[in-house]
Structure 1
C-alpha cells in the first residue's frame, strides 16, 4: 500500500543520512559519534524488517449483505426468542420454525416423524380457533394448546401453528374440578330434593284428611315422581361424565312443564306470590327437560332467597316465542343485586351467601348455552331484578 512505500523511503533516507554522518565523523576523528550513527542506522533497518515481516495481513472486507437477507436474519432471531414452539405445515409436510420447536420435536427443519395427531390438528384447526394436543413419549407427555394462522408464502398458503404448554394449568384445573364437582353435585341435589320433600309431605298431610282430595294428592305424587326421576337422571349423568352432558332434546308440552315448576315453587316458598305469563308462549318446546328444569330452578331459587325478608314478595315467570327461540323472563321484587357484584354473578363459585357455593347461575347459563341459547341479567334495581334466558329452535307443531 502507499503508506508502506512512504515508510520504506523514509527509512532508507534516515539510514543513508546516518551512514553519511558516521563517515564524516570518522574522517574527523569523532569515533564515538560515528559509532552512534552506525548503531542508529542498524536499529532503524531492524525495525523496518520486523514491521514488514510480522505485520499480519489485513482481513478481506465482509461480503455485502442484501436488505432481504438482513431482514430474514432479524426475523429468525425474533422467532427464536419465542418460548412457544412454532411449526409450519407446507404441502402436508411439518417443519419447525424456531429454536423452541427444534428442541421439542428434535428436528432442524423437516420433521420426519411428527407426533401423533399434530399434522391432523394443524390441518383441521381453522385460524382463530384452538385445539388441545398431547405431545411426548411414554410417561413424559405434555398437553399443548394449538393456535393457528395462515400465511401466503411464494404464492401458496402455509399453515402456521403455535404450541402453548398448558400441562401445568390442566393438572391444576383437574384437581380443582374434582373438588368443585362435589360442591356442584351437593348443591344441585340438595336444592332439588328440598321442594320434592316438601311436596311429598304435603301429599301425606292431604291423605291424613278425613276426606282427602284424591286428584290433588295424585297430582302432587306424580310431580314428585317426575322430579325425582329427573334428579336421578341428572345426577347419573354428572357421575358418569364428571361434566355437564350434552342435552337430549325432547318435545315438551309447555303447559305441563310450567305447572310442575309452579307446584315445586309454591310448595317450597308458600309465602311468595308466584305468577306465570304464557300468553305468548308456544305450545311445545324442544329441550332436555331435566337440564332445563335445573337451569330455571336455579334462577327462581335465587329470586326466592333474595325475597326472604321482603314485603309483598313476588316472582313472575313468563314464557314467550321469539324468532327461532323460546324466551324465559324471570322477575322478582327483591332488593336487587349490588352493582359491584352484577358482573360476577355468573362466574363459577362466586357467591355472597354464607352457605352458597356459587354454582347455580353458572350452571344455569351453561345449560342454556348448550341449548343454543343463553342466560343473562337484564336489569337489577331495588324492587325489580330481571333475568332473561332462551333455548333454541321451537317446533312448529
Structure 2
C-alpha cells in the first residue's frame, strides 16, 4: 500500500512538471519543448495505466519484491533528474522533493524557513493554472512559473508544485529572436539596395549620352538619394531598437509616393508591366513612408517572383479611398498561390522558393499592423492574385 502511494505521488509530480513545461513552452512559442513535455506526460500516464491493469504475478513463483528502501531510492533518483524544482505542501509544511528544489530552497527535506510567497502561491494556484513567482536563488532574484496538482492520500490532500525557470527560457527565446532579427535586417537591406543600384546605373548611363537629359538624370539621382536615406534610417532604427521601429507617420501625397515606387519598380524590373492607379486615391495619407515603401516593395517582389515564367506579366498597384480607410491593392496575373499555402504565407520564414527567406510578407504585415492597418491575401486563383493593404484614413 505504501509503495502504491509513492508511485501515485511520483506520477503526479512528473505530470505536474510536464504540465508546467508544456504551458510555458506553448505560450512562449517553444514548440520543441512543448512536444517534449507532452511526451513526458503521455509516458507517465501510460506507466500508470500499465501498473493499474497489469496482472498480479503467479503466487506459485512470485518474483522477489524490492524493498521499500530500494523503491524509494529509485524514485528519488528519477525525481532528481528533473531540472525543475519540485515541492510539496502539506498544510503549512513545505518540502523539497528533488535535488533542484533542495538546491533552490537550501533544505534537504522540510524547509524550515519556507518563503511565504511560495506557500501562498501554492495554496492559491489551482491545478491546471499557472502563476508567476519570484524567488531568491543564491542572492539573485529569479522568475519562475508555478503549476500545481493535488494528490489524494488516505486521510488528506497533498498539494504538489513544479517551478519552471522563466529567465532561462527567456534567454533562449531572446537568442532565437536575435537570429530572426539579423535575417530580417539583411533581407531588407539587400532588397532595398538592389533597385537603388539599378537606378544609379541608369543615371550613369544617361550621363554617357552625347546630350544627357539632365532633368531625367536629376530625377533619377534624387530618387536614389531619397531611397538611400530611407534605407539608412530604417537600418539605424533596427540597430538602435533591435526590433521593428514604431512608425513615424507624416502626411504624404499619394501621387508622389506612388510615382517614386513606380520608378524604383521599373528600374528593377523593366520587363514587367506595372500599372499604377491613383484616380480614386485620397490626396494624402498619414504614413511612415520608409516603412510603407518597404512593405509594398515586399509584396511587389513576391508578385514578380510569381510572374517569372510568364510571357506577358502585369502587376496593378491601385490606391483607393474608402470610408475610414485607404485601400492599396496589388494584383498580378500569375499562376496563383496553392490552396495549402494560402494560410501559411504570412508565417515568418515560410517559403516555397529554393532561395527564399520567408520574411518579406511577414514583415510587410507587421509594418501595416504597426500603422493600424493590415495586409491580407484577398483572393488567389490561376491568372489573378490580389493582396490588399489597408491604412486608417
Give the structure-2-normalised TM-score: 0.62
1:307 Cα offset (Å): 0.7
3-state DSSP class of the match of 1:178? helix
Change (3 A) 1:217 1:146: farther
Shift of 1:390: 1.2
Cα pair 2:336 2:384 within 8 Å, conserved: yes
Could you tell me how far 1:184 is from its partner in structure 2?
A: 1.1
Structure having the higher Rg: 1
User: Alignment partner of 2:340: what SS?
Assistant: helix
Q: Tell me the equivalent position of 1:14.
A: none
Aligned in 2, Cα 1:209/1:109: closer, same or farther, shift over 3 Å? Answer: closer
Quick check: 1:379 aligned with 2:379?
Answer: yes
Q: Does residue 385 of structure 2 align to residue 388 of structure 1?
A: no
1:203 equivalent in structure 2: 203
Q: Which residue of 1 aligns with 2:369?
A: 369
Give, in angstroms, the shift of residue 169 of structure 1.
3.6
Q: Displacement of 1:146 after TM fit?
A: 10
Give the 3 Å change call, closer, same or farther, for CA 110–183 of structure 1 in structure 2. Answer: closer
- SS for the counterpart of 1:341 is coil
Of stretches 322-331 and 289-298 in structure 1, the one that deviates more from structure 2 is 322-331
Deviation at residue 180 of structure 1 after TM alignment: 1.9
1:153-192 to 2 correspondences below 5 Å: 166-192=166-192
Q: In the TM superposition, what whole-angstrom CA distance separates every residue of 1:192-213 from its partner, at most 9, and x where no partner exists?
A: 1000000000011111111111
Q: CA deviation at 1:171?
A: 2.3
Aligned to 2:218: 218
**Is 1:318 equivalent to 2:318 in the alignment?**
yes
290 and 111 in structure 1: CA distance in 2 versus 1, 3 angstrom threshold: same
Larger relative contact order (CA 8 Å, sep ≥ 6): 2
Superposed CA deviations along residues 352-392 of structure 1, whole A, max 9, x for unmatched, are: 22221111111001111111111111111111111011122
Structure 2 residue 298 is matched with structure 1 residue 298: yes
Q: Does 1:237 align with 2:274?
A: no
1:227-306 matches, cutoff 5 A: 227-306=227-306
Aligned mates of 2:282, 2:132 — CA distance in 1: 41
Report matched runs for 1:125-140 at 5 Å: 136=136, 140=140
Q: Which residue of structure 2 aligns with residue 352 of structure 1?
A: 352
Deviation at 1:170, TM superposition (A): 2.2
In the alignment, the residues of structure 1 paired with residue 237 and residue 145 of structure 2 have an alpha-carbon distance, to the nearest angstrom, of 28
Q: Map Cα deviations across residues 193-242 of structure 1 (whole Å, 9 max, x no partner).
A: 00000000001111111111111111111110000000000011111111
Moved over 3 A (4+): 81-84, 98-112, 130-147, 163-169
Deviations 1:231-259 (A, max 9, x none): 00001111111110111111111111111
Match of 1:89 in 2: none
Deviations 1:255-308 (A, max 9, x none): 111111000101100000000111221111111111111111100011011111
TM-score norm. by structure 1 comes to: 0.62
Q: Give, in whole Å, the separation in 1 of the partners of 2:268 and 2:217.
A: 17
* Cα distance in structure 2, aligned partners of 1:110 and 1:132: 14
Q: Distance in 2 between matches of 1:133 and 1:255?
A: 55
CA distance, structure 2, for counterparts of residue 390 and residue 134 of structure 1: 43
Number of aligned residue pairs? 276
Q: Distance in 1 between matches of 2:136 and 2:327?
A: 47
Tell me which moved more, 238-247 or 130-139.
130-139
- Report the Cα offset of residue 165 of structure 1: 5.6
* Aligned equivalents of 1:276, 1:200: Cα separation in 2: 23
Deviation at 1:143, TM superposition (A): 4.4
Q: Secondary structure at the match of 2:279?
A: strand
The residue aligned with 2:307 is 307
Distance in 2 (CA, whole Å) between partners of 1:332 and 1:145 is: 49
Change (3 A) 1:135 1:216: farther
